[in-house]
Amino acid sequence: MKIFDEIESEVQSYARSFPRVFNKAQAEFLYDEEGNRYLDFLAGAGTLNYGHNNPLLKEKLMEYINNDGITHGLDLHTKAKGEFLQTFNEKILKPRGMEYIVQFTGPTGTNAVEAAMKIARNVTGQQNIVTFTNGFHGVSLGSLAATGNSHHRDAAGVSLNGTHRMPYDGYLGEGIDTTAYLDKVLSDSSSGINSPAAVIVETVQGEGGINAATLEWLRNLQTVCRKYKILLIVDDIQAGCGRTGDYFSFEEAGIEPDIITLSKSLGGYGLPFAVVLMKPELDQWKPGEHNGTFRGNNFAFVTAKAAIDQYWSDDRFSNEIKRKGQYISERLNAIVEQYGEGNFTTRGRGMFQGINCINGELAGAITHKAFKKRLIIETSGADDQVVKFLCPLIISDENLKKGVDIVEQAIKEVCAGEESIPAEIDYFDDQEEEQAVNC
């Protein structure tokens, strides 16, 4: 459609990888204007954990709209907000023994991160926040200072202050515990590292290339934070809401962050919604200090509650994610072994996994080929070198297999420089010849 070239900004990104006009979606499928069906392994970059237009959530939303439920209410107390809080407390926080205050921020992830960093600084009176290599926390100025990616950072136009970067788990190679370095510099008054207010970390770095910290590293990080009385902020915007298998990605590590940010799949239906969870003693906000017109996205409260009721009332859904995650691990390991020629590696946890193809050209050729076979899948990492598997958590076993099969076929063809082989899968359709890329 010409209009996109005519007046839509050059800033668009995903649209460049998948140049179609989409107009319908259901569960793990997207449909373009011509009615072609695509399997969606991007899932709104982790926003559609419960699939597109999940019928169970849609029903509650339609009912709410039909009854003239509040759509916009600033931060007024609404029934929908109250019911969300009730459900979140009863079914998510309490069963996990978690006592947190819930702050509604503007509905984007980056705004939750801004609020989390602000409260940490205000409560401690310290400015510095420790962040990690390859971390991604959003692109507004505060959260951008915590983000590693130079492409995003260079767009800031002003200096990005108040953070200090430390090596993430694995950054210096296997067998090196980078929290030992953090411990060392914090113990040394001449290290040049200002005493921090907080550490902000992703348990699995999504945009940074599906780098999964080990559970031990996360525990060590918490130990260092406690030792120096530094607040631990877990940015669970992409890794949370079930992606790694549990509701929170840090549960498996048994750590207890002081502050948690959630967004992306929190609203459940793809509706914008973000919160900061903080230990009660940290809630030192004065009324309206951090505000925002859209802190009350009541539609998202309705679908967020419905998602929790439906999927998090017991551990069945969590067990399903872990089972599918195990399947993904096995398949990706086998693919890497067969086609990776010792170069490719797998990474991630739960249904948050990827294949590191070493370079962006190769990973891009694979996802491009996959798209021709009607699979939407993206890359991530500093050089876009990681093929990132992020399908909806509710995907059927059959379609999960199909998606992985498509990537496997794409890798095989890219590495061999083969023409696409039509297969029995209905969205395998292509016959384009392409150059071999070194695998």
Ligand X SMILES: *Cc1c(COP(=O)(O)O)cnc(C)c1O
109 or 245: CB nearest ligand X: 109
Q: Say whether residue 109 binds ligand X (CB under 6 A).
A: yes
**108 lies in the site for ligand X, by CB under 6 A:** yes
Least distance from ligand X to the Cβ atom of residue 47, Å = 8
Least CB distance to ligand X at residue 103 (A): 16
Question: Which 244-273 positions form the footprint of ligand X (CB under 6 A)?
Answer: 263
Among 28, 40, 235, 378, binds ligand X (CB under 6 A): 235
Residue nearest to ligand X (CB): 109
> CA-CA distance, 8 to 12, in Å (whole number)?
8
Name the segment binding ligand X (CB under 6 A); options: 58-66, 233-241, 301-309, 368-376. Answer: 233-241
Q: Which is nearer to ligand X, 138 or 142 (CB)?
A: 138
Kindly list the strands in the beta sheet with 37-40, ordered across the sheet, starting from the edge strand earlier in the chain: 22-26, 29-32, 37-40, 375-376
Q: Kindly state the smallest distance separating residue 427's Cβ from ligand X, in Å.
A: 28
State which of positions 375-394 bind ligand X (CB under 6 A): none
| Selected range binding ligand X among 35-43, 235-243, 293-301, 424-432, rule: CB under 6 A | 235-243
203 is a site residue for ligand X (CB under 6 A): no
Does the footprint of ligand X cover residue 220 (CB under 6 A)? no
| Residue 137 touching ligand X (CB under 6 A) | yes
Q: Does 210 bind ligand X (CB under 6 A)?
A: no
Measured from the CB atom, the residue of 244 and 420 that comes closer to ligand X is 244
Q: Which member of 38, 88, 100, 136 binds ligand X (CB under 6 A)?
A: 136
Smallest gap, in angstroms, from Cβ of residue 213 to ligand X? 13
What interhelical angle do 215-227 and 178-187 show, nearest 10? Answer: 10
Is 134 a binding residue for ligand X by CB under 6 A? The answer is no
Q: How far is the CB of 107 from ligand X (least distance, A)?
A: 8
Measure the CA–CA gap between 278 and 121, rounded to whole angstroms: 13
Confirm or reject binding of residue 339 to ligand X (CB under 6 A): no
Cβ nearer to ligand X, comparing 113 with 400: 113
Can you name the residues that pair with 199 across neighbouring β-strands? 130, 232
Q: Minimum distance between the CB of residue 232 and ligand X, rounded to whole angstroms?
A: 15
Interface residue with ligand X among 114, 169, 202, 408 (CB under 6 A) is: 202
Q: Is 142 in the site for ligand X (CB under 6 A)?
A: no
- Reading the block at residue 172, the tokens are 């210096």
Shortest distance (Å) from residue 2 CB to ligand X? 28
Stretch that binds ligand X, among 120-128, 167-175, 230-238, 303-311 (CB under 6 A): 230-238
3-state DSSP of the chain: CHHHHHHCCCCCCHHHHCCCCEEEEEECEEEECCCCEEEECCHHHHCCCCCECCHHHHHHHHHHHHCCCCCECCCCCCHHHHHHHHHHHHHHHHHHCCCCEEEECCCCHHHHHHHHHHHHHHHHCCCCEEEECCCCCCCCHHHHHCCCCHHHHCCCCCCCCCEEEECCCCCCCCCCCHHHHHHHHHHCCCCCCCCCCEEEECCEECCCCCEECCHHHHHHHHHHHHHCCCEEEEECCCCCCCCCCCCCCCHHHCCCCCEEEECHHHHCCCCCCCEEEECHHHCCCCCCCCCCCCCCEHHHHHHHHHHHHHHCCCCHHHHHHHHHHHHHHHHHHHHHHHHCCCCCEEEEECCEEEEECCCHHHHHHHHHHHHHCCEECEEECCCCCEEEECCCCCCCHHHHHHHHHHHHHHHHHHHHCCCCCCCCCCCCCCCCCCCCCCC
Per rule CB under 6 A, count of chain residues that contact ligand X: 14
Segment contacting ligand X (CB under 6 A): 3-11, 107-115, 291-299, 362-370?
107-115
**Closer to ligand X at the Cβ: 28 or 207?**
207
Q: How far is the CB of 384 from ligand X (least distance, A)?
A: 16
Q: Is 348 in the site for ligand X (CB under 6 A)?
A: no
Q: Which of 48, 80, 113, 321 binds ligand X (CB under 6 A)?
A: 113
CA dihedral of 71, 69, 247, 347, whole degrees rounded to 10: -40
- Residues at the site binding ligand X, with contacts judged by CB under 6 A: 108-110, 113, 136-138, 202, 206-207, 235, 237-238, 263
